[in-house]
Structure 1
Amino acid sequence: MGKVDINKKQKKNALLQTAFDLFRDKGFAKTTISDIVSDAGLAKGTFYLYFKDKYDLRDKLIAHKAGQLFADAHHALLDQKFNSFEDQIIAVADYIIGRLNDDHGLLTFISKNLSWGIFKTAFENTLPDESLQFYDYIFEQMKKNSYVCPEPELMLFTIIELVGSTCYSCILYGQPVSVEEYLPYLHTVIRQILAGFLVQQPAQIETKTAS
């Protein structure tokens, strides 16, 4: 990445982070584009190089923050050992829920938008290549564990929607129970979802041809 590209990335990230802080503290409706560029120390024209309007920035910011969660989950899992693919998926869900439980401001901002649309936007258009590693990681691990999934994106969609909606209610409102109480049930449901989507292939046994 050249110096010009790095500078552009830094400016865009400054606008995203500044907007997030203002949306969280003042609220989306009360935050203006002028507020964002002023706090970021950038010219107003710079804003329109990256975003159409405040609503476009909000949508990209949701994708950006959600994408960061998945990228961080990927890095957190790299050095861990798991007994099964199912355990890996549950670890991803637990990591994301843990992060959102620690940062209610982030959860409130993302709200119920931790969905498949946000997931796809984040990984296709918003974040750098390292974020795509999580998406690739899931499918690599699926193959490594001798699984075939006829509808892999539908499987991920179901799990992401489930995690997003349930953790929102449990963390912010403790309804129907606290997130700690709910996790064992969530784990069971995730395993059932995976069982419905995955087909385990027989392990390939290497044979030596007699000479």
Structure 2
Amino acid sequence: MSKIDNNKQQKRDSLLESAFSLFINNGFNKTSISDIVNQAGVAKGTFYLYFKDKYDIRNHLISHKASQVFQIAYNDLLKHESITDFEEQVLFIIDNILNQLAANHNLVKLLSKHLSWGFFKNSLFFAPGKDIPPIYTIYEDLLAKSTYTYRTPEVMMYMILELVSGTSYNTILFNQPISLEEIKNPLYESIKGIFKQFRV
């Protein structure tokens, strides 16, 4: 990456981190573009080089954060060469992501509040960097090496994501109805059931 490209990336990342902090602390509606650029330490015109408006930066932020969390989980998976089964790999990634979210409640608030399937689909195809593939590309690569073939793998992924996000929000933030650790076993058994249902 050239010095100019690196500088652009730093400004964009600074705007995203500024927006994340302000959206969490002040709320989306009470945060203005002026607030974002002031905290990021850039000119207002710089904002419009990267984003159309406040909704656009929020959507990019969701994709950026979702991709970050997934990339950390996937990089951890690569360190466990003994986990070669597709279903076990997906469960490892989910467990890792849940642990990350449990350690950062602000991420849960951002992702769960705004993470409709449409938004998440954007995250799936979002390439965080030149040399970093999108989440869905990694998912397809893992899927291609699976022992089983699955019908409509995108629908299967949708159902798993909905189950995980719907189940984990209250357990992570409020320990309700039970703690995250207590819910993991029944949650993972349910995910295994989804896999089984979609096997051809």
Structure 2, gaps ≥5 residues long:
none
What's the CA shift string for 1:88-107, capped at 9, x where partnerless? Answer: 11111111111111111111
Q: CA deviation at 1:27?
A: 2.1
CA contact (8 A) 1:71 1:133 kept: no
CA RMSD after TM alignment: 1.9
Distance 1:124 1:83, change over 3 A: closer
Whole-angstrom CA distance in 2 between matches of 1:168 and 1:130: 32
Q: What's the counterpart of residue 11 of structure 1? A: 11
In the alignment, is the contact (CA less than 8 A) between 1:171 and 1:179 conserved in 2? yes
1:141 maps to 142
Q: Residues 159-199 of structure 1: CA distance to partner in whole angstroms, max 9, x if unpaired? A: 11111121112111222222111100001011010111123
| 1:178 and 2:166 aligned | no
What is the identity, as a one-letter code, of the residue corresponding to 1:147?
Y
Structure with max Cα Rg: 1
Contact residue 16 and residue 61 of structure 1 kept, 8 A: yes
Alignment of 1:110 onto 2:116:
no
Cα deviation for residue 115 of structure 1 reads 4.5
Say whether residues 1:45 and 2:45 are aligned partners: yes
SS at match of 1:76: helix
Q: Which residue of 1 aligns with 2:76?
A: 76
What's the TM-score, normalizing by structure 1? 0.85
Report the 3-state secondary structure (helix = DSSP H, G, I; strand = E; otherwise coil) of the residue aligned with 2:133: helix
2:24 match = 24
- Find the aligned partners of 2:198 and 2:171 in 1 and give their Cα distance: 26
Question: Aligned pairs, how many?
Answer: 199
Q: TM-score, normalised by structure 2?
A: 0.90
CA distance in 1, matches of 2:14, 2:112: 22
Structure 1: gaps spanning 5 or more residues: 200-211
**Structure 1 residue 3: deviation in Å?**
3.0
Contact 1:67 1:131 in 2 (8 A): no
Q: 1:33: which partner in 2?
A: 33
Runs of 4 or more consecutive aligned structure 1 residues displaced over 6 Å after TM superposition: none
